[in-house]
Chain A
Amino acid sequence: MKPIVRAEGLSKQYTLGASASHDTLRDSLMSAIRSPLRGRPAGRTLWALRDVSFEVAPGEVVGIVGRNGAGKSTLLKVLSRITEPTSGRVELYGRVGSLLEVGTGFHPELTGRENMFLNGAILGMRRREIEAKFDEIVAFAEVEQFIDTPVKRYSSGMYMRLAFAVAAHLEPEVLIVDEVLAVGDASFQRKCLGKMGSVAREGRTVLFVSHNMTAMQGLCDRVIWLSDGRVKDDGGAGEVVSKYLKTSFSAMAERVWEDPATAPGDETVRLHSARVRPVDGAPSDPITVSTPFVMEFEYWNLKPEMVLNLSLVLVNEEGTVLFNTGPINEPVWHGRPFPPGLFRSACRVPGGLMNDGAVRVRLYVIKDQSVVLFAHEDVLAFDVREGVEQRKHWYSKWIGAVRPNLEWRTELLEGGAGAAPAR
């Protein structure tokens, strides 16, 4: 079938560092003055996309997966004509509507009604189109009573619902959607996903990015996997998603320092290795929210009579400290003097505690319970992934630093006969 979207050899280069943005005339003048002496200022460059090619057939629903920084958003921006590729070509055979954010252009001072028209116009909708769908959009957003109230008085849930509702009624031939499903409460999310599903069933072409593999597998025919700006895999949704989930993202799941002279540490303690792995696996194996895993550290103690403790601080992508842990319950060596030698300390984290996301580990080596000998920022970094089976009716990110699997119990205290749950 003839494609509706054809991308050929798309590449996009960004220049990082001082010269990337917010240029001042002075910078330019200075570099022009210096250039005969020093050559071009060494701006670091980054290829956000490298030679990406694919075709999308009309009516296809294509998911794009990849870890943060893999180029997903850049690809959507190029396809939406927000930014220009450095090289390559895209041919679009249909009207494209893109939704990289909900509520773009919403103004807090304007009412819900006014924002609907404004936002619709920004998304490329005609005024008549919005008028025709007005009641449907308001009903979908569940904000009937507040439609003439300035949106600054809306709760964040209402705001997001209205914003999504406008966008969901966009009717282009090709719909490009970034991770925008993570809005509102569970029932609204179901509605959003349902809307996406019906858009797809109407035969419209959808390209969408999500970190939610359940939604990906449920909605998409086909998934493109981007890694470091390249297409790593492209095929059936189930197949690509499971391959993607099996590959470890762990940038630093295992580190070894062979030479005690250059290893991190000081004259008392030097690190030999650090690794994180599932309890029954190797450091390259994936860790999901339900996987028990181990963080192990091997280190040389160089001085006699050292009372040593390790302290680990786990930090998520937002920089929030998840928790701090130390070997206070360690049965053998805790509180005892360490003789010189190579030690290994391991911390086991049970399954059903972590939330999904990237985790960085900061290590402190502590003497006598309180003196910090040295700290090592980002000694380990790994991803905790969503287990595909975990989510039932909840599609967006679970909020919270951790997602503990806690014990719940509900009892019937009073009630008629036959009220026991059917099993």
Chain B
Amino acid sequence: MTTRGSTSILEPAAALTDSSGAAPAGESAPPTLPESPLVVIEPGRSAGLGALRDLWHYRELLYFLVWRDLKVRYKQTALGVAWVVMQPLLTTLVFSVFLGLLVRVPSDGVPYPLFVFAAMLPWTFFSGAVATSGNSLVGSSHLITKVYFPRVIIPMAAVGGRLMDFLVSFAVLALMMAFYGVAPTWNLLMLPPLVLLVTLLALGVGMWASASNVRYRDVAAILPVLVQLWMFASPVVYPLSVVPEGWRALYSLNPLVGVLAGFRSAVLGHAFDWGALAFSAAVTAAILAFAAFTFRRTEKHFADLV
């Protein structure tokens, strides 16, 4: 091993830390190196399975980013976590007054507020998650240009933060069910898979939007408009039954149709439309795969573009 050209300048500094048990100069054995490289950096190289291993290694970062998001988001608001339930409640109230009372939109024989709230919860989660994750990469440029970690953690953490809100707000749903005297049924067991499905869908759209936003900042401008449109193209504030029969097939291409109807069935104890659910799951899988592909293809340029 090379002897270090240690100057007198360094001695006092070295003395400070030597007490912490540092090995004396030049005596430690070099580490044994693996036969093949742990990491190869090459243009256009896709890490393949290594990417998943990386993601697993950084799972705690995902946890901390979600935790930071929640902590910071509610630290400075007067009502704190109450906002989580206020938002869908207020929106539901608005729609109940205008669409339920004034326009008298049908609600399949269920009290309109409960009818809307059962779909408003997943919708609030979905739209919030898409909006936050869509802007997440651009908003994290300080991390992306300074540290390596699997970039997909950033949109994932954004979705994760909203997911926590979503789960908390189920408490309000329970209260509302009790208020309207809707008895829980075994259908509620479908909630976890439905939550998973809407989470994956939000992640797929969010990943795609966040990656595109790095390249085209226009995405940030158009995204809220599209999300707004998407709400009215989904059975959130009206039942599926108001959609004309002839348009039903086209309408059902929207993967949220099956998901939101599923949420309603789970909460209200109606029969599930399994075909629609299966179709939603398939579309979600396709969107997720496409988003993952787009993301992987563009993520190596994030640091140069963001």
* Chain A contact residues, CB within 8 Å of chain B: 1-2, 4, 6, 14, 21-26, 28, 57-61, 77-96, 98, 100-101, 104-105, 107, 109-110, 114, 117-118, 121-124, 126-127, 173, 190-191, 193-195, 197-198, 200-203, 214, 217-222, 236-238, 391-393
Contacts and interface: CB of A to CB of B under 8 A. Distances in A.
Given A1-B30, A121-B58, 17 more contacts: A21-B304, A60-B2, A77-B145, A82-B145, A82-B148, A88-B42, A90-B40, A90-B41, A93-B37, A94-B33, A98-B148, A121-B61, A121-B65, A202-B22, A203-B29, A221-B4, A236-B5
Given A25-B216, A83-B303, A104-B147, A217 B5 contact: yes
28 contacts: A2-B33, A4-B33, A23-B217, A24-B216, A25-B216, A57-B30, A59-B30, A82-B144, A82-B303, A91-B37, A92-B38, A93-B34, A93-B37, A100-B147, A109-B76, A110-B68, A114-B71, A118-B65, A121-B65, A124-B148, A127-B60, A191-B17, A197-B10, A197-B14, A198-B17, A202-B23, A203-B28, A214-B9
A309 to B, nearest CB: 45
A300 to B, nearest CB: 48
A239 to B, nearest CB: 10
B183 interface: no
| In the A-B complex, the 3 residue pairs with the closest CB atoms | A203-B28, A194-B13, A198-B22
B20 interface: yes
Nearest to A150: B75
Nearest to B47: A81
Given A83-B304, A109-B72, A22 B33 contact: no
Contact of A104 (B1, B63, B143): B143
Interface string B20-56: 1011111011110110011111111000000000000
Contacts of A84: 41, 43-44, 300-301
B170 interface: no
B146 A110 contact: no
B180 interface: no
Contacts of A200: 4
A201 B13 CA distance: 13
B7 interface: yes
Given A202-B23, A221-B2, A190 B12 contact: yes
A203 B38 contact: no
Given A58-B33, A92-B39, A109-B72, A122 B143 contact: yes
A359 B295 CA distance: 44
A238 B61 contact: no
Interface of B: 1-2, 4-7, 9-10, 12-18, 20, 22-26, 28-31, 33-34, 37-44, 57-58, 60-61, 63-65, 67-68, 71-72, 75-76, 142-149, 215-218, 300-301, 303-306
Contacts of B149: 122, 124
A122 B142 CA distance: 12
Nearest to B301: A84
Contact of B31 (A23, A58, A104): A58
Contacts of B30: 1, 57-59, 203
A397 to B, nearest CB: 16
Given A82-B303, A86-B43, A122-B61, A218 B9 contact: yes
B148 A80 contact: yes
Contacts of A190: 12-13, 16
A78 B300 CA distance: 11
A411 to B, nearest CB: 27
A100 B146 CA distance: 6
Given A85-B41, A92-B38, A237-B5, A22 B217 contact: yes
Contacts of B75: 109
Contacts of B68: 107, 110, 114, 118
B186 to A, nearest CB: 38
A91 B45 CA distance: 12
B24 to A, nearest CB: 7
Given A109-B76, A221-B2, A25 B218 contact: yes
Contacts of A392: 9
A54 B25 CA distance: 24
Nearest to A10: B41
A58 B5 CA distance: 18
A393 B12 contact: yes
A60 B2 CA distance: 8
Given A84-B301, A121-B60, A197-B17, A89 B41 contact: yes
Contacts of A218: 5-7, 9-10
A81 B68 CA distance: 25
Contacts of A203: 23, 28-31
B39 A126 contact: no
Contacts of B29: 203
Contacts of A21: 304-306
A87 B26 CA distance: 36
A90 B40 CA distance: 6
A222 B57 CA distance: 32
A198 B218 contact: no
Nearest to A11: B43
